[in-house]
Amino acid sequence: MTAIRYELGADQILTLTIDMPGQSANTMNSVFRDALDATVEKVTADLDTVRGIIIASAKKTFFAGGDLNELHKVTRDDAKAFEDMVNGLKAAMRKLETCGKPVVAAINGSALGGGLELCLACHHRVVLDDDKIQLGLPEVTLGLLPGGGGTQRLPRMIGLEAAFPFLMEGKKVNPKAALKAGIVDELASSADDLIGKARAFIEANPGCQQPWDKKGFKLPGGAPHHPAMAQKLAIAPAMLKQKTKGCYPAPERILSAAVEGCQVDFDNGSLIETRYFTELVIGQVAKNMTGTFWFQLNAIKAGGSRPQGVDRASFSKVGVLGAGMMGAGIAYATAARGIDVVLKDVSVENAEKGKGYSANLLSKKVSRKRMTEEQKDTVLNRIKATDSADDLAGCDLVIEAVFEDSNLKARVTQEAEPKLVGNGIFASNTSTIPITQLANASARAENFIGLHFFSPVDKMQLVEIIVGEKTSDETLARAFDYVLQIGKIPIVVNDSRGFFTSRVFGTFVNEGIAMLAEGIHPTSIENAGVLAGMPVGPLAISDEVSLTLMQHIRAQSRKDTEAAGGTWVPHPAEAVIDTMVETQGRKGKAAGAGFYEYPQQGKKFLWPELETLFVDQEKATATRLQDLKDRILFIQAIETVRCLEEGVLRSIEDANIGSIFGIGYAPWTGGAVQFINHYGVRAFATRAAELAKQYGSRFTPPALLLEKAESNTPFA
Ligand code: NAI
């Protein structure tokens, strides 16, 4: 079986159907490249008997794009061979494009990355009008660029400015939006219509001209040297820097490839694109991002830390206790994936209010035309708002999200458990209380587990599954299946105070506050956080969490440490937090005042008094930005290694994915453990020891890190 079926019809229309053997989706790997070369050779030989060409796909997804397995392996030493290979592939696509006969892409499913680039190399694109189909160039989200001609053809088709969101942000669109954007030319209502329209184009355009003529092509929206466009482009790199914080090389390379490419003829533009593409492919950021966002994420979705040997479970009725912020979100996420939900609160009114949260989100989808009224009603009708525990009868899973109070949680556990089906699971969404402790209230602790969702639940993809001392493997496996069933990403951690994500997150905010305690200017601290790649600075996020909650968590940890016979070592952040709360009465954002001021009108700004209270001018001016950035990334990576060492984390995948999706650890690093690999285990351990000397024992390299450094083996 060949990867591209060659069928020349009696009407002299040639259909090339891509059907990669042994693969569920078509990808641009060496098998495809060889098949394309052979096909193009045959087309060239048969050209006299061919009136036009239809490119089709035998798979559900038209074409999935580049082969990341191949790309991930390319090293600096392979750069030249890689460039030649890419240019060879593009030359084959170009030969079809310039063969003089009309070439039409009949797009029956999603076409992403290299798949869409193949379609762009056709003269005409017809796509099945199905909202599930996505078209886009997502390479940038993996630190890459569309290296199959996308940075050259798309600007020539729709203009530079219109192409930017697709090229530089990886925007994906459905067929209707693609038509509006000018990425495709026609929509088809059925598979027959798709082929019919492709044929009709061929009939109507027998002598198809080679597009992108060498001379005088007009770029829609203006060529780069047009004054209006030149003005915009002059500030584009600076605007990109603002977005990428200098951490992500891909958007800037894409901009360069597109702009430089538009100023020369197509073929030279294509060579320019390959050069930038290769630079990114061999660079470390793309390796970090593809490694984590593709390979590790897929490994988690394929089973990750799920125990083997337990049949895959499917959930049909889930109870949610507490219809507050978290409960309402969990109910929505569950019902949206086709599961019946019983949403219970202390009153029907409260429960209905929680259900209203789903109604709101769904209405927004309807108004954005992402859903019909009927679809909205179907989801909403799955949620039963109630104040009666009897309605929980027959649930496969109950998740409690009542107030953070162990006694209350114990009560609702005992009330709900008898209503569950035989092997039903009871889960707690606690953010701080150890699962083993909560399971004491359960009559079936082996079926008790933690499911830690993040706020806002509809947007946050991660769920941290916490295994208590008595939780069975079967319960863990089934809880894992539930998380996948609702389309979220499960990581599995063993019970520990703060689990994994909150522990690491705590080190981030405390480090920022410790800098303030040292006298560093708050603006420098916030900048360092953002420039390191965190979504916001540590002081802003402390305000969100609330400084009083941080005091409460600390008091609890201290109590636990001392009860276990340990000695509490105060963190330098503590004194600052106490001053803020107790002396200054500034408790955080919810209280209207924290490290930031929150004016009624306008944006928040850093509280000016911080300068008088904490800043030491000498220290503030002597501090290097790089040191601050290092401290922010290092402290979290070190805590992650401690979690691995203590067995809180079960895998490197969970560590990397959990750090990025749970706490926003800089995505360019590929996650908190990959950052250590990226830095080099030895160099990382040395730098950590330096930081420990300067800032305290919290940076002391854990034994596991020293072991890796000694043998110079990265975490794998
Ligand atoms: P919330 O205060 O918004 O909601 C709690 C709800 O529980 C209220 O509607 C309350 O009426 C209801 N409730 C109280 N007693 C009940 C009972 N006996 N039966 C049924 N419902 C009852 O609280 P939120 O923020 O939703 O937090 C809930 C849980 O989720 C807490 O354990 C919290 O630590 C945890 N969590 C919170 C996160 C957050 O960002 N807020 C993140 C992750 C976990």
Per DSSP, the residues of 56-83 read EESSSSSB-EE-HHHHHH--GGGHHHHH
Instruction: Tell me whether residue 653 is one of the annotated catalytic residues.
Output: no
Query: Distance between CA 120 and CA 211 in Å, rounded?
Result: 11
Residues of the chain with pLDDT under 70: 1, 210, 213-217
Structure tokens at 2: 């060949």
Instruction: Specify the CATH number for 317-496; select among 3.30.450.20, 1.10.3710.10, 3.40.30.10, 3.40.50.720.
Output: 3.40.50.720
- Residue 217 has a pLDDT of 60
- Residue 497 has a pLDDT of 84
Domains of the chain by residue range: 4-212+220-282, 317-496, 502-539+550-584+609-711
CA neighbor of 450 nearest in space, from 380, 497, 517: 497
Is any atom of ligand 1 closer than 6 Å to the C-beta of 568?
no
- Burial group, residue 136, by CB count within 10 angstroms (0-12, 13-18, 19+): buried
- Residues 6+ away with beta carbon under 8 Å from 88: 33, 37
- Burial group, residue 49, by CB count within 10 angstroms (0-12, 13-18, 19+): exposed
- Residue 210 has a pLDDT of 65
Say how many Å lie between the CA of residue 340 and the centre of ligand 1.
20
Instruction: Tell me whether residue 260 is one of the annotated catalytic residues.
Output: no
Dihedral over Cα of 358, 322, 484, 639: its sign: positive
- Residue 214 has a pLDDT of 52
Say how many Å lie between the CA of residue 413 and the centre of ligand 1.
14
Residue with tokens 């599995």: 492
Is any atom of ligand 1 closer than 6 Å to the C-beta of 513?
no
According to CATH, the topology of domain 4-212+220-282 is 2-enoyl-CoA Hydratase; Chain A, domain 1 (3.90.226)
The answer to whether residues 288 and 670 touch, using CB atoms and an 8 Å cutoff, is yes
Is any atom of ligand 1 closer than 6 Å to the C-beta of 428?
no
Ligand 1 atom closest to 344 (CA) = 20
Query: Distance between CA 101 and CA 209 in Å, rounded?
Result: 8
- Residue 242 has a pLDDT of 83
Atom 40 in ligand 1: residue holding the nearest Cα? 455
Helix 501-518 to helix 538-545 angle (10° resolution) is 120
Say how many Å lie between the CA of residue 656 and the centre of ligand 1.
28
Dihedral over Cα of 346, 351, 352, 353: its sign: positive
Phi-psi region of 246 (alpha: psi -120 to 50; beta: other; left: phi over 0): left
Is any atom of ligand 1 closer than 6 Å to the C-beta of 405?
no
Say how many Å lie between the CA of residue 354 and the centre of ligand 1.
11
**One-letter amino acid of 151:** T
Residue with tokens 């390959």: 274
Atom 15 in ligand 1: residue holding the nearest Cα? 402
Q: Which of 41, 83, 97, 117 is catalytic?
A: 117
Is any atom of ligand 1 closer than 6 Å to the C-beta of 350?
yes
Q: Where are the alpha helices (H) located in 519-579, listed in sequence order?
A: 522-532, 538-545, 547-563, 573-578
The answer to whether residues 559 and 565 touch, using CB atoms and an 8 Å cutoff, is no
According to CATH, the topology of domain 502-539+550-584+609-711 is N-(1-d-carboxylethyl)-l-norvaline Dehydrogenase; domain 2 (1.10.1040)
Instruction: Write out pLDDT tens, residues 328-378.
Output: 999 999 999 999 999 999 999 999 999 999 999 999 999 998 899 999 999
Is any atom of ligand 1 closer than 6 Å to the C-beta of 403?
yes
- Residue 213 has a pLDDT of 56
Say how many Å lie between the CA of residue 594 and the centre of ligand 1.
24
Say yes or no: do domains 4-212+220-282 and 502-539+550-584+609-711 share a fold.
no
